[in-house]
């Protein structure tokens, strides 16, 4: 009601233009009431209408703020598909109004909405956020965005893109003098290159980091890198096992997914015995048709080990099974 009154004009009252600001304020208040009443969709609709009025006034920042509020309401209501484009529009409007930091923070909220279903789109969004924070010289936030880009590329097994993001992140941490992070990221970079099967590139990356950060050479992280490269080139399985049990590598769970470590070790594993060796997980296979409710020919597998080794073991088993299925498909064709 107050919104409509604000938009009415009157010659008698010398009100010649609609009061868009008053209408937007009334809609924001209505949104609060709808939200408190448990109707997030109507609350979001009120904020979207308010955003339209702010745009009429040329107040882009408040339009963005209203759109972001609507997006968060829809996100919390479980409607991610409707929330995401509103976040995107809010990011653009924040940037247009000169509020680059606010735009970058909204990027993080938007990416979390789609990261599970659409990781490639999330990567593009984080790259957009990275460009925004680089303009505002926010090193910490830039590092966080690079880290997300790396993780998502690794998840998609896009190793070249992941390696580039890791190198960019290393440069950031060299710049702010954080050798601890530089070391962890170098292990990640070496593992990514080994996952590609390129120990020469891994050695070059290690050498490049030494040139960027001289103190890195004498750290446990540097030792782990040398062992990884040496073990790969020498085919030293025992050395690989020792590295995997090393606390330095086990602390890398947040940096390097098990799929990457599995990609480094996986090609060596062709039998269940080898899978057990490389993953550190005990595998027990039950005979065929062990349960009547399973398809004929199914084998039941029981795994025993810590969470990390079991995840890696599953990854290796899946790879071997998929390769076998691919070979059967080729033969039939």
CATH of the domain at 61: 1.25.40
Q: Is residue 45 assigned to a domain?
A: yes
Asked whether the beta carbons of 187 and 252 are under 8 A apart, the reply is: yes
Element (DSSP H or E) covering residue 22? helix 20-36
User: Which two structure tokens, joined as six digits, stand for 320?
Assistant: 């071997």
Q: Is residue 2 assigned to a domain?
A: yes
Question: Per residue in 219-268, pLDDT tens?
Answer: 888 988 898 888 888 776 666 666 766 666 656 555 555 556 555 555 55
Question: Per residue in 119-165, pLDDT tens?
Answer: 898 999 999 988 888 766 677 788 888 888 988 888 888 889 999 99
| Strand ranges for the chain from DSSP E | 282-285, 301-304
* Residue 266 and residue 330 in one domain: yes
Asked whether the beta carbons of 115 and 78 are under 8 A apart, the reply is: no
Q: Which residue has the higher pLDDT, 4 or 205?
A: 205
| Distance from C-alpha of 306 to C-alpha of 258, rounded to nearest angstrom | 13
* Stretch 186-208: mean pLDDT: 90
Is the pLDDT score of 293 beyond 80?
A: no
* Residue 164 and residue 211 in one domain: yes
Q: How confident is the model at residue 198 (pLDDT cuts 50, 70, 90)?
A: confident
* Residue 331 and residue 273 in one domain: yes
| Integer angstrom CA distances of residue 223 from 208, 262, 301 | 15, 21, 36
Largest CA distance in the chain: 92
Is the pLDDT score of 210 beyond 50?
A: yes
Q: Is residue 290 assigned to a domain?
A: yes
Backbone dihedral region of 189: left (phi > 0), alpha (psi from -120 to 50 degrees) or beta?
A: alpha
* Stretch 287-308: mean pLDDT: 52
Is the pLDDT score of 8 beyond 90?
A: no
**Residue where one domain finishes, among candidates 50, 75, 100:** 75
Q: Residue 142: phi, psi to the nearest 5? A: -60, -40
Q: Is residue 113 assigned to a domain?
A: no
Q: What is the pLDDT of residue 118?
A: 87
Residue 332: Cβ within 10 Å count: 6
* Residue 212 and residue 305 in one domain: no
* Residue 130 and residue 71 in one domain: no
* Residue 199 and residue 133 in one domain: yes
Q: Is residue 94 assigned to a domain?
A: no
**Could you give the percent of the chain with pLDDT greater than 70?**
64
User: What is the three-class DSSP state of 282?
Assistant: strand
Q: Is residue 245 assigned to a domain?
A: no
Q: How confident is the model at residue 290 (pLDDT cuts 50, 70, 90)?
A: very low
Can you tell me which residue has the tokens 């050498």?
207
Nearest partner of 279 among 251, 249, 314, judged by Cα: 314
* Residue 267 and residue 186 in one domain: no
| Distance from C-alpha of 225 to C-alpha of 187, rounded to nearest angstrom | 6
**Could you give the percent of the chain with pLDDT greater than 90?**
25
Q: Is residue 238 assigned to a domain?
A: no
Q: How confident is the model at residue 294 (pLDDT cuts 50, 70, 90)?
A: very low
Q: Residue 298: phi, psi to the nearest 5? A: -75, 140
**Residue where one domain finishes, among candidates 17, 40, 75:** 75
Q: What is the CATH number of the domain that holds 128?
A: 1.25.40.10
* Residue 225 and residue 129 in one domain: yes
Nearest partner of 268 among 292, 237, 222, judged by Cα: 237
Question: Per residue in 26-51, pLDDT tens?
Answer: 889 999 999 999 999 999 999 999 99
Q: What is the CATH number of the domain that holds 290?
A: 3.30.1370
| Distance from C-alpha of 299 to C-alpha of 285, rounded to nearest angstrom | 7
Cross-strand bridge partners of residue 283:
303
Q: Is residue 90 assigned to a domain?
A: no
Q: What is the pLDDT of residue 134?
A: 75
* Residue 196 and residue 270 in one domain: no
| Distance from C-alpha of 169 to C-alpha of 143, rounded to nearest angstrom | 6
| Integer angstrom CA distances of residue 140 from 146, 163, 172, 186, 217 | 10, 20, 9, 18, 25
Q: How confident is the model at residue 296 (pLDDT cuts 50, 70, 90)?
A: very low
Mean pLDDT of the chain: 77
Q: What is the pLDDT of residue 298?
A: 43
**Residue where one domain finishes, among candidates 232, 267, 288:** 232
Number of domains within the chain: 3
| Domain residue limits at 24 | 1-75
| Distance from C-alpha of 117 to C-alpha of 248, rounded to nearest angstrom | 32
């Amino acid at each position: 009601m107050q919104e409509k009154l604000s938009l009415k004009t009157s010659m008698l009252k010398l009100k010649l233009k609609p009061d868009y600001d008053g209408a937007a304020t009334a809609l924001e208040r209505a949104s609060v009431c709808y939200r408190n009443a448990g109707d997030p969709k109507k609350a979001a609709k009120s904020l979207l209408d308010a955003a339209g009025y702010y745009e009429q006034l040329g107040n882009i920042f408040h339009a963005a703020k209203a759109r972001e509020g609507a997006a968060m309401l829809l996100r919390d209501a479980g409607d991610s598909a409707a929330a995401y484009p509103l976040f995107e529009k809010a990011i653009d409007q924040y940037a247009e109004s000169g509020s680059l930091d606010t735009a970058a923070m909204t990027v993080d909220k938007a990416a979390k909405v789609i990261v599970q279903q659409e990781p490639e789109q999330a990567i593009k969004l984080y790259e957009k956020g990275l460009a925004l924070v680089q303009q505002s010289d926010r090193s910490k936030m830039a590092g966080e965005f690079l880290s997300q880009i790396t993780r998502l590329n690794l998840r998609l097994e896009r190793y070249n893109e992941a390696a580039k993001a890791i190198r960019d992140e290393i440069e950031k941490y060299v710049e702010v003098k954080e050798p601890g992070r530089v070391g962890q990221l170098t292990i990640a970079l070496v593992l990514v290159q080994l996952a590609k099967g390129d120990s020469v590139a891994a050695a070059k990356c290690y050498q490049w980091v030494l040139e960027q950060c001289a103190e890195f050479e004498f750290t446990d992280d540097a030792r782990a890198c040398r062992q990884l490269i040496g073990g790969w080139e020498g085919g030293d399985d025992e050395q690989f096992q020792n590295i995997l049990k090393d606390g330095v590598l086990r602390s890398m769970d947040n940096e390097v997914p098990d799929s990457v470590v599995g990609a480094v070790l996986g090609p060596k594993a062709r039998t269940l015995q080898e899978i057990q060796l490389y993953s550190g997980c005990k595998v027990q296979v039950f005979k065929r048709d062990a349960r009547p409710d399973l398809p004929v020919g199914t084998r039941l597998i029981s795994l025993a080990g810590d969470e990390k080794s079991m995840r890696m073991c599953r990854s290796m088993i899946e790879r071997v099974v998929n390769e076998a299925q691919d070979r059967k498909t080729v033969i039939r064709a």
